[in-house]
Amino acid sequence: MQTQPDTVRSATTGSELTAYLDQVRTRRAELHESLSAVDLALESAIGRGGAWRERLHAALAELAHDFADHVEVTERPGGIYDRISASAPRLVPAIERQRAEHRDFVEAIDGSLAILEHGGTIADLPAFREEVTTLVGRLRRHRQVGGDIVYQAYEVDLGGSG
């Protein structure tokens, strides 16, 4: 890990920050794995719809869980967003955009799960697959921006998949 700016050291010790960033990396890796599982489910043939729905539902349920963990680790009191806001106030607008996206993503993931659980015909599935594919792309960009924010604050690269 690279040296943290003095403002970060004053807010927390280097070892505390390192341990916390390891938690962030773990959640980030889990989110990456969930997104990849959703991608795989989306790529499979829709067929008659039943097996495809079940596979996608399982992947989206895992994504919902991992995204909730991501929101918790970033937004909890004393979490990464609070830490960055204190040490790098210039990044607050970007953090606020990320927080707003969290609410939108939770709603979209929950809505997709509800559709799989409660309705739609086989004819609706190609359009639904396109919507979920777009959602996954937006989530991947969200992860990229989050990684950029951490780098701008601490000069620490969280990595692509981890």
Largest CA distance in the chain: 59
- Range 128-145 average pLDDT: 96
| Spatial CB neighbours of 151, under 8 Å, sequence gap ≥ 6 | 157, 158
Q: What is the CA radius of gyration of the chain?
A: 18
Query: Is pLDDT at 79 greater than 50 in this prediction?
Result: yes
Tens of pLDDT, residue by residue over 13-69, are 678 888 888 888 899 999 999 999 999 999 999 987 789 999 999 999 999 999 999
Question: What pLDDT sits at residue 19?
Answer: 85
Contact indicator for 42, 56 with CB cutoff of 8 Å? yes
* 6-154: in CATH 2.60.40: no
Mean pLDDT of the chain: 87
Contact indicator for 7, 141 with CB cutoff of 8 Å? no
Percent of the chain with pLDDT over 90: 67
Lowest-confidence segment of 29-38, 121-130, 147-156 by average pLDDT: 121-130
Q: Which residue has the tokens 């990044």?
A: 91
Other CB atoms within 10 Å distance of the CB of residue 127? 9
